[in-house]
Structure 1
Amino acid sequence: MDKMDREILRLLQEDGRMTVSDLSKALSLSRPSMSERLHRLRERGVIEKFSAQVSLDKIGKAMLVVIQVGGLKVSLQAFEEVIQTEEAVIECHRVTGEVSYFLKAAVANVHELRELIDRLVPFGTINTSTVLHSPVRERMLLPEV
């Protein structure tokens, strides 16, 4: 990966809607060359997907919570199958340490949070934390030089 690829990644992480033309102009590269570079980055799996970042407040899910799940009462596979169907959960990470999973969930209010916890309790020990502020969100990632 060269300097130009790093710049492409930087620009796309700032604005994922940049067109090939916009990228070409910003980096003084022809559109065919830019298209080829983008194709290679996607083909190598460096760019996994393009998506929209949605405001949780604007869609009525203003309460963001981190949930730790430990002491599983079911197999890892069984828990992962269930958690994939849980719409409030927006991230799930299997981790090392005293707990087995960190979940990030978005709910509208305390009532929805209680219902989510009630659905999770049969699977293990649940510990929740409400996110008050996120000083670092979606940090830009670039490969080492």
Structure 2
Amino acid sequence: MRQKIIKISEKVKVDKKDIEILRILENDGRIPILKLAKMVKLSHETVRYRLRKLVRSGVIRKFTVRINKKKLGYHIYAIIMLSTWNYTEEKWNELFKYLMDHKNVATVEKITGDFDLKFSFWAKDTEELDFISHTVKTKFSKIIKNWNSFIFTKRYKWNELPI
């Protein structure tokens, strides 16, 4: 199967109808095309064409599910920001690999400012939260300079589409 390679910096033109389609799909990626077409007041052929265009251009990377982690017993979502010091490339890679491979870790991001690295993870309870935090702090204590953690208590808005 041939894939088109899209440069990340390549801007794709979308119109108001494309944005409307994306917003609906953001809330329900499994919506039938006929229902989607009715909601955006376009023919189902036009909606199908627009969807293919959005997928081919890389605007839609994949269709996925948004899992309710609380239903699976994960009630705590935490973000950790840390700054590092006195590290070798080998030790940095070890930290990075540890976080990337950890089943509870949701995101790992290199950041700028007072901190170097941000990661987020899910925990079932405060004991698991403390265990994960303590394990990372202990395992990488020689290279972690500062550590700041945040626990989400309530999300008021989630928007994948900043347009």
Structure 2 residue corresponding to 1:29, chosen from 42, 55, 58 = 42
CA contact (8 A) 1:10 1:142 kept: no
Deviations 1:96-145 (CA, angstroms, capped at 9, x unpaired): 01111121111011221122113312332433222222222x225154xx
* Alignment TM-score, normalising by the size of structure 2: 0.76
Secondary structure in 2 matching 1:84: helix
Structure 2 residue corresponding to 1:63, chosen from 68, 76, 82 = 76
Q: 1:74 to 1:82 in 2, by over 3 A?
A: farther
Q: Which residue of 2 aligns with 1:51?
A: 64
- Judge which range, 65-74 or 45-54, deviates more: 65-74
**Structure 1 residue 141 and structure 2 residue 161: aligned?**
yes
Q: Which residue of 1 aligns with 2:16?
A: 3
By how many angstroms is 1:61 displaced?
0.6
CA contact (8 A) 1:68 1:101 kept: yes
By how many angstroms is 1:67 displaced?
0.8
The residue type paired with residue 100 of structure 1 is D
Structure 1 residue corresponding to 2:107, chosen from 83, 86, 91 = 91
The higher-RCO structure (CA 8 Å, 6+ apart) is 1
Give the Cα–Cα distance (whole angstroms) in 2 for the partners of residues 140 and 97 of structure 1: 24
CA contact (8 A) 1:9 1:142 kept: no
**Structure 1 residue 132 and structure 2 residue 148: aligned?**
no
- Judge which range, 84-93 or 20-29, deviates more: 20-29
CA contact (8 A) 1:69 1:100 kept: yes
Which 5+ residue runs of structure 2 have no aligned equivalent?
1-13
- Residue identity over aligned pairs, in percent, reads 24
The residue type paired with residue 25 of structure 2 is L
The residue type paired with residue 73 of structure 2 is G
Q: Which residue of 2 aligns with 1:114?
A: 130
Deviations 1:20-66 (CA, angstroms, capped at 9, x unpaired): 11112222322222111101101111111222222222111101111
Give the Cα–Cα distance (whole angstroms) in 1 for the partners of residues 129 and 88 of structure 2: 22
Aligned structure 1 segments of 4 or more residues deviating by more than 6 angstroms: none
